[in-house]
A and B are shown apart, each in its own frame.
Chain A
Amino acid sequence: MTDLSASKSGSLLTEDKRTAKRNAAEKRFRAYGLGAILLACLMLVLLLISIVTNGASSFKQTYMAFPVTVSQEEFDAAEGSILKTGAYNKMLQSALMDYLVANDLLGDATEDDVKNMISGEAAADVRRMLLANADVIGTEIDFSLLANGRIDGYFKGRVTRETAALDTKITAAQLDLADRMTEDGSMVTRFNWSFFTNPDASVQRPEAAGLGVAILGSLYMMAVVLCLALPIGVAASIYLEEFAKKNWVTDVIEVNIANLAAVPSIVYGILGLAIFINFAELHQSSPLVGGLVLTLMTLPTIIISTRASLKSIPPSIRDAALGVGASKMQSVFHHVLPLAAPGILTGTIIGLAQALGETAPLLLIGMVAFVKEYPAAYSSELGLFGEASTALPVQIFNWTTRSDPAFVERASGAIITLLIFLLMMNALAIFLRKKFERRW
């Protein structure tokens, strides 16, 4: 007994050396972990702040409102001329001049100053509207017209009097005029719906550029990816996981699927260019080709996540089904698949979200083109999803390469839009998983 008590360690109230060392190590590890998370959060916050401060203003747009009367003769003359929008432009310019003079707003602005207040896109908008409603010709119409990008930038803080002094495209007189028109109420900045509906615009007209074509193109591609990658991926996973014999062939396939998931996405672009465009002769820049390429890219992700969720279903459920005499297929489709569905859906949506944000392969198949026309889902010449289109991430890439700072704002706005789409998809994935999750 005395021997035992002699070998006893010290008091429990004092920490011995080993315990102190162990506790210190644990404390250090916790500090590292906390530090890593704080650093990641800080970076995320910085990223969001930078994007939002740059891009939030793209959701607002400056418009000018003044009455315009286009007579039948003017309309006919304009439609008869070669530069049709040029003729309308002149009408708008003189209408604006008349409005400014009549309301004593002109001040020291010259005629050129007034002319350049209006966006080049405004004339096209007016023409489109007149062609659609011929009965307004000859009456006084209150148009709401896009102001020039520099004027728009002035209200958003992008253009200041200092930068204007160095800029040949804007004068101090124009800024004074803009201030007076704002007081008068004929120049307003309001929510920019057309940012989501307009197609891209030329380098000179950032104020008119929108995401319409890009959003449409991305939706078409997502439709293609969903329709192809989900059934193919799920069928492949079910076969590999439930039916295929486990031998070296399936091992090789498994390793290769894992490898394909890690292949840089631009490689899929090259593959798509070679197979879908050069060999199968599908149309370049089309959402169909884009969707096919993204399908190839998304398949490994979907297969891996589907197999993981099939694996997570306890074998006792399969045994139970087989035990009452269900066939292999019945046991999979009646029991295993419904239980794995939430996991499969989550994997698919995350795969889709990844595809939605993918840029590199789309550059190679020509989706970087400037597209002004909304692509139709189906056309008799080009087939399903065959009309040239662009995509959200590519539009962002496209805008960031343009020199006008107004496009930086547009690109940041597009990034915010893309992030909102991605967040919505991830939220949907979480919602579906929570809703259909079943316990046993």
Chain B
Amino acid sequence: MNDIKIAAKGVQVYYADTHAIKDVNVEIEDKTVTAFIGPSGCGKSTFLRTINRMNDTIDICRVEGDIRIDGEDIYDPKVDPVQLRAKVGMVFQKPNPFPKSIYDNVAYGPKIHGLARNKADLDEIVEKALRRGAIWDEVKDRLHAPGTGLSGGQQQRLCIARAVATEPEVLLMDEPCSALDPIATAQVEELIDELRQSYSVVIVTHSMQQAARVSQKTAFFHLGNLVEFGDTDKIFTNPEDPRTESYISGRIG
């Protein structure tokens, strides 16, 4: 068993009067892919966004409880969300490259965090990130072409490369394949499996097959509750909770 990277205890999230996440306790391991599954509106994306405090940008959103990364409370008033987000990278549902060149897309994070001392350093970081994003071979000859000119699958891998360029420890992925075709999805899934070597990856997905393919651990959310959390094999073959079973067999959701 790997070390515990993220530990959430009694997490509650409210949007104004709506209680979106109800008392979630979960421990996410390092160097593991953890999948969050559940029907639409069950709170899995909301919970994902509490891990790098992206919910801070929503005025009406309120988070209670305790989330620790490596034992440090990320909601401590002393924590700067900017520093946190450098440590916890995020990939979004829709590929969202900046309307800049491929190079600038990847170089932006390292630049603002001062990770490169000079141009050669930066070039190296960009190449490494693009290689990790499994897109280097496709774009190495056109690094200064606009990132928005790539295909959807390439854009998403560029976004992954951009996220890993800042050397995060945790990578959050919010339905990264929902806008991609099956071939691009397969490429991204392969990539996720490789990223597991270095990061703790948390992926929200609507596709149960995807969760089964890429993850080692699975959490099933329903109506804001964490219903069941455990090894992916066990959740898909022998769920304990009847709701999990109903969802997996296609009766609800």
B89/A323 in contact, CB under 8 A? yes
Of the four ranges (under 10, 10 to 19, 20 to 34, 35 or more), the interface on chain A belongs to 20 to 34
B90/A323 in contact, CB under 8 A? yes
Least Cβ distance of B83 to chain A in Å?
A: 7
B166/A320 in contact, CB under 8 A? no
Cα–Cα distance between A246 and B98 once the two chains are bound (Å): 26
B108/A324 in contact, CB under 8 A? yes
Cα–Cα distance between A438 and B166 once the two chains are bound (Å): 26
Least Cβ distance of B39 to chain A in Å?
A: 23
Contact with A along B105-140 (1 / 0, CB 8 A): 000110011000000000000000000000000000
A319 at the interface (CB under 8 A from B): yes
- Name the A residues within 8 Å of B85 (CB-CB): 322-325
* Among listed A262-270, A326-334, A372-380, interface-contacting one: A326-334
B98/A317 in contact, CB under 8 A? yes
B209 at the interface (CB under 8 A from A): no
A161 at the interface (CB under 8 A from B): no
Contact with A along B36-73 (1 / 0, CB 8 A): 00000000000000001010010100000000000000
A323/B163 in contact, CB under 8 A? yes
Least Cβ distance of A245 to chain B in Å?
A: 6
Given contacts A316-B94, A334-B108, contact A322 B148 (CB under 8 A): no
Nearest CB in chain B to that of A244: its residue: B59
Choose among A245, A319, A324 the residue that contacts B109 (Cβ–Cβ < 8 A): A324
Cα–Cα distance between A339 and B163 once the two chains are bound (Å): 22
Contact with A along B72-83 (1 / 0, CB 8 A): 000000000011
B92 at the interface (CB under 8 A from A): yes
Cα–Cα distance between A322 and B85 once the two chains are bound (Å): 7
Choose among B57, B92, B108, B148 the residue that contacts A440 (Cβ–Cβ < 8 A): B148
Contact with B along A74-106 (1 / 0, CB 8 A): 000000000000000000000000000000000
Most buried by B among A314, A325, A335: A325
A317/B96 in contact, CB under 8 A? yes
B92/A339 in contact, CB under 8 A? no
B176 at the interface (CB under 8 A from A): no
Cα–Cα distance between A439 and B57 once the two chains are bound (Å): 25
A325/B112 in contact, CB under 8 A? yes
B99/A438 in contact, CB under 8 A? yes
Given contacts A324-B89, A326-B82, A326-B112, contact A439 B99 (CB under 8 A): yes
A322/B92 in contact, CB under 8 A? no
Most buried by B among A322, A324, A327: A324
A323/B83 in contact, CB under 8 A? no
- Name the A residues within 8 Å of B108 (CB-CB): 321, 324, 326, 334
Least Cβ distance of A338 to chain B in Å?
A: 9
- Please count the residue pairs between chain A and chain B whose beta carbons lie under 8 angstroms apart in the complex: 69
Given contacts A245-B59, A439-B148, contact A325 B113 (CB under 8 A): yes
B166/A325 in contact, CB under 8 A? yes
Cα–Cα distance between A246 and B52 once the two chains are bound (Å): 22
Nearest CB in chain A to that of B52: its residue: A323
Nearest CB in chain A to that of B80: its residue: A327
Cα–Cα distance between A339 and B96 once the two chains are bound (Å): 14
A330/B163 in contact, CB under 8 A? no
Most buried by B among A245, A314, A319: A319
Nearest CB in chain A to that of B84: its residue: A325
Cα–Cα distance between A246 and B109 once the two chains are bound (Å): 29
Within 8 A of A (CB), among B208-240: none
- Name the A residues within 8 Å of B148 (CB-CB): 439-440
Choose among B59, B96, B99 the residue that contacts A319 (Cβ–Cβ < 8 A): B96
Choose among A245, A326, A327, A339 the residue that contacts B99 (Cβ–Cβ < 8 A): A339
Given contacts A317-B96, A439-B99, contact A325 B82 (CB under 8 A): yes
Least Cβ distance of A332 to chain B in Å?
A: 12
Choose among B59, B113, B159 the residue that contacts A320 (Cβ–Cβ < 8 A): B159
Cα–Cα distance between A440 and B148 once the two chains are bound (Å): 6
- Name the A residues within 8 Å of B162 (CB-CB): 320, 324
Nearest CB in chain B to that of A319: its residue: B92
B248 at the interface (CB under 8 A from A): no
- Name the B residues within 8 Å of A438 (CB-CB): 99
Least Cβ distance of A342 to chain B in Å?
A: 12
Within 8 A of B (CB), among A16-73: none
19 pairs of residues in contact across A and B, judged by CB atoms under 8 Å: A245-B59, A314-B96, A317-B98, A319-B90, A319-B92, A319-B96, A320-B162, A321-B98, A322-B54, A323-B85, A324-B89, A324-B166, A325-B113, A325-B166, A327-B82, A438-B99, A439-B99, A440-B98, A440-B99
Known: A317-B98, A440-B148. 20 other contacts (CB 8 A): A319-B54, A319-B90, A319-B92, A319-B96, A320-B92, A320-B96, A321-B98, A323-B52, A323-B90, A323-B163, A324-B108, A324-B112, A325-B82, A325-B83, A325-B85, A326-B108, A327-B82, A330-B112, A439-B148, A440-B99
